[in-house]
C-alpha cells in the first residue's frame, strides 16, 4: 500500500525571491539614505543659525554695558591678555561677563574641522580672565566682526559662517559647509543663509548703501573681521583682523 504525503503548507523562499527582496531593499535604501542625510544637514544648519542669532544678542547685551560698543578683540586683548586674540577674545569676553558661557555656540557639527568633542568651557572656571586651554587654539566655525557700534546700520554683518570670501562665495577648503553656502548674522538680529554668490550679491548691503558680494565692503572701515584660519583654505578674516574696505 502506497502512503500519500501531505504538503505542509510552509514553503521557503526561492533564491530568485530572496535576490528580488534584497534588490528592492537596496533600491529603497539608496532612495531613503540621501534624504535622511539631507534632512539632518538642514536641521544642523538651523541649529547653527540659532547659535549665531544668540551670539549677536549676547554681543548686543555686552554693548549695553560698554558704551554701545560690541566686542572689539583689539581693545579686549589690551585689558585681558589672557583671553587671547582675535576670535578667541571675541568669544572670551562674552564668557568672562557671563553672557555666553557655553562653548557649543561657537562650533558647527557639520564643520569638517570640528573634532566631534566640545571644549569643557570657554574661560578657565578658576580664572575667568584666562581662556580654557581646550578652547584656545580650536578652529571656530564662525568669523566675527570687531569694532562695531549699536548705532551702525542694522544690515551690518556681525558674524558669519567661516569660509566666506570677498567674491561672495564660500571656500571649498575652509568653508564649514564647504562651497554650499553659509549664514550671515546682522546687527539688526536677523540671520540669513546664502547658497551662492548671486544670493549674496542680492542681499548683502555695502557700507555705501549699494548691493554687492564683498563682506569687507559691508562693514565699517574701522571694523575688522576675525577668524581662525584652518589649513584647508583661506578665510576673509584673520587672527589679527582683516579691516573693512571701501566699496
Q: In the structure grid, which three cell numbers stand for residue 98, read together?
A: 557671563
Specify the pLDDT at position 20.
75
Beta-sheet strand order (sheet of 182-186): 191-194, 182-186, 157-161, 142-146, 224-226, 242-243
Confidence of residue 188 (pLDDT cuts 50, 70, 90): very high
Specify the pLDDT at position 217.
96
Measured from the Cβ of residue 212, the count of other Cβ atoms closer than 10 Å reads: 18
Question: Does this model's pTM top 0.85?
Answer: no
Extract the runs of DSSP E, i.e. beta strands, from 179-233: 182-186, 191-194, 224-226
Confidence of residue 39 (pLDDT cuts 50, 70, 90): low
Specify the pLDDT at position 1.
47
CB crowding 62-93: b at 16 or more within 10 Å, else e: bbeeeeebbbbbeebbeebebbbbbbbbbbbb
140 pLDDT more than 80: yes
Cross-strand partners of 123: 131
Mean pLDDT of 158-175: 93
3 pLDDT more than 60: no
Specify the pLDDT at position 229.
87
6 pLDDT more than 80: no
Amino acid at each position: 500500500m502506497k502512503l500519500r504525503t501531505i504538503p505542509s503548507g510552509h514553503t521557503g523562499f526561492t533564491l530568485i525571491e530572496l535576490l528580488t527582496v534584497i534588490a528592492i531593499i537596496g533600491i529603497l535604501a539608496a532612495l531613503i539614505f540621501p534624504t535622511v542625510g539631507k534632512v539632518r544637514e538642514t536641521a544642523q544648519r538651523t541649529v547653527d543659525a540659532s547659535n549665531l542669532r544668540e551670539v549677536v544678542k549676547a554681543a548686543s547685551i555686552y554693548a549695553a554695558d560698554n558704551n554701545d560698543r560690541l566686542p572689539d578683540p583689539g581693545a579686549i586683548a589690551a585689558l585681558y591678555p589672557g583671553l587671547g586674540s582675535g576670535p578667541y577674545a571675541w568669544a572670551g569676553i562674552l564668557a568672562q561677563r557671563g553672557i555666553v558661557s557655553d562653548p557649543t555656540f561657537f562650533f558647527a557639527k557639520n564643520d569638517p574641522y570640528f573634532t566631534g568633542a566640545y571644549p569643557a568651557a570657554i574661560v578657565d572656571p578658576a580664572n575667568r580672565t584666562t581662556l580654557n586651554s581646550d578652547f584656545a587654539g580650536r578652529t571656530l566655525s564662525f568669523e566675527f566682526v570687531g569694532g562695531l557700534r549699536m548705532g551702525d546700520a542694522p544690515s551690518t554683518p556681525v558674524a558669519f559662517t567661516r569660509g566666506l570670501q570677498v567674491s561672495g562665495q564660500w571656500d571649498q577648503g575652509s568653508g564649514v559647509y564647504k562651497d554650499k553656502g553659509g549664514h550671515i548674522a546682522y546687527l539688526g538680529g536677523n540671520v540669513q543663509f546664502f547658497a551662492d554668490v548671486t544670493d549674496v550679491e542680492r542681499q548683502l548691503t555695502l557700507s555705501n548703501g549699494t548691493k554687492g558680494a564683498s563682506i569687507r565692503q559691508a562693514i565699517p572701515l574701522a571694523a575688522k573681521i576675525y577668524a581662525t584660519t584652518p589649513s584647508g583654505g583661506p578665510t576673509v578674516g584673520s587672527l589679527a583682523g582683516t579691516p573693512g574696505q571701501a566699496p
